Amino acid sequence: MGRLSPSDTKRGDTVALTAQVKDELLGVNPSSTDARIAEATAMLRVAGEFDQGLRGIELRADFAERSVADHLAATIRDVCDVKVDVTSSSPGSQSRDVRYEVKVTDGARDVIRRFRLVTASGHPVVGLPRHIISGTIAEVEAAWRGAFLARGSLTEPGRTSALEVVCPRQETALALVGLARRLSVAAKTKETRGTERVYLRDGDAIGILLSRMGAPRVRLEWDEKRKKRQAKQSASHHANFDDANQRRSAQAAAAAAARVDRAMSILGDDVPEHLADAGYLRVKHRHASLEELGRLADPQMTKDAVAGRIRRLLSLADKRAKELGIPDTNAAVAEDS
């Protein structure tokens, strides 16, 4: 059996997390009939359409999950007392997965009017109905809940984490942006390959919206995963930073050792004994830090004392090299690089 590619794994994680959110949202009991209607209206606006069929006006909406389709069908039956059918379609050219369609034929006009999917003049609503845009906070939360149930997704916390809803047109996406603003959350819209989306990428904003829609348990899990990822990234950053510092220190020590070796050659027997001792330590322990060299000295010295003696040794050697007209200690570093 072949292994999943990274993109397949990522898609699987997204599907699993999205399913968790939807399962929790389906368990929410709206606080009022108006909130329940707002939820169903958003589902119909995001995933539904109505047009003239053989038996008159038909209202249809399709979903990826049977539970979501049944949820909408139950609301329509309870609110409008009409017959609602839920059918499934096999995977085909339009979709790789089974889809579930909610369909109302007899009484579709009543449903359309009750959920205000048309304006007072009879024209189809292109965004979301005004009574939801200016409705109560409970209705605003319910509308976002319905939109997410219909076409929402949530990815795992990470650099590209996002909560988004696919919309049928830009006006619907902009309406959801406005509703998010009423919930103190900043959402944005984008168009990708002809598809409109409303999305959030900020982790705090995603957490807030999950709670406002009615998924506090997933929000807690999301926050925990996010904190763990941030802690892991921070630890990795510090480790990389420390490794880089250690590499730079080792490179500097090796360069200093090469210069000291050259200095000893230039000065020969004229090297002062106390400077020679520091120089021999540097050459013998090429990658040791100044602090480590100080501990190796006899008697022990501070790292500042070691650094000072090495500086004076190099200065003496460079001065002698200039007098003799030969390459100074820096030439040793150039040869090593």
Backbone angles phi, psi at 237, to 5 degrees: -65, -45
**pLDDT per residue over 224-250, tens digit each?**
887 777 667 666 555 555 566 667 777
- Least confident segment among 67-71, 163-167, 247-251: 247-251
The pTM (predicted TM-score) of the whole model is 0.66
The reported pLDDT for the residue numbered 178 is: 96
Predicted local confidence at residue 236, as pLDDT: 58
Instruction: Identify the pLDDT of residue 1.
Output: 34
Cβ atoms of 203 and 226 within 8 Å: the answer is yes
Q: In what order do the strands lie in the sheet with 188-192?
A: 152-154, 163-167, 195-200, 188-192
Q: What is the pLDDT at residue 174?
A: 96
Average pLDDT over residues 137-148: 97
- pLDDT tens per residue across span 188-216: 999 988 899 999 998 889 999 999 999 99
CA distance 214 to 224: 18
* Domains parsed from the chain with CATH numbers: 6-214 (3.10.28.10), 235-336 (no CATH)
By CB atoms closer than 10 A (0-12, 13-18, 19+), residue 4 is: exposed
Please indicate whether residue 124 or residue 157 has the higher confidence score (pLDDT).
Answer: 124
Reported as a single tens digit per residue, the pLDDT across 91-116 is 765 667 889 999 999 889 999 999 99
The per-residue pLDDT for 7 is 43
What is the dihedral sign for C-alpha 128, 46, 215, 87? positive
CA 195 to chain centre: 21
Of 202, 197, 203, the C-alpha closest to 177 is 197
Mean pLDDT along residues 162-176: 95
| pLDDT given at position 295 | 87
Q: So what's the pLDDT on residue 6?
A: 41
Pairing state between β 152-154 and 163-167: antiparallel
For residues 44 and 84, is the Cβ–Cβ distance under 8 A?
no
Cβ contacts of 117 within 8 Å, gap of 6 or more: 41, 44, 45, 50, 111, 124, 125, 129
Contacts of 184 (CB under 8 A, 6+ apart): 208
- Distance of alpha carbon 224 from alpha carbon 219, whole angstroms: 9
- Structure-block tokens of residue 86: 């839920």
Cα–Cα distances in Å, from 58 out to 10, 12, 30, 43, 124? 38, 35, 27, 16, 14
Average pLDDT of the chain, as a whole number: 85
DSSP run (H or E) holding 36: helix 33-47
Residue 160, judged by CB atoms within 10 A of its CB (0-12, 13-18, 19+), counts as exposed
State the average pLDDT over residues 278-288.
Answer: 81
* pLDDT score, position 233: 62
Q: Give the full edge-to-edge strand order of the sheet including 99-104.
A: 48-53, 56-63, 99-104, 85-89
Q: Residue ranges of the alpha helices (H) in 154-215?
A: 170-182, 203-213
How is residue 230 written in tokens?
Answer: 């941030």
pLDDT score of 333: 78
Q: Which of 182, 188, 227 is nearest to 204 (CA)?
A: 227
Per-residue model confidence (pLDDT) at position 3 = 36
Distance CA 59, CA 226 (A): 41
How confident is the model over 13-31, as pLDDT tens digits?
568 889 999 999 999 998 8
pLDDT(9) > 90: no
CB-based contacts of 89-92 (< 8 A; 24+ apart in sequence):
89/62
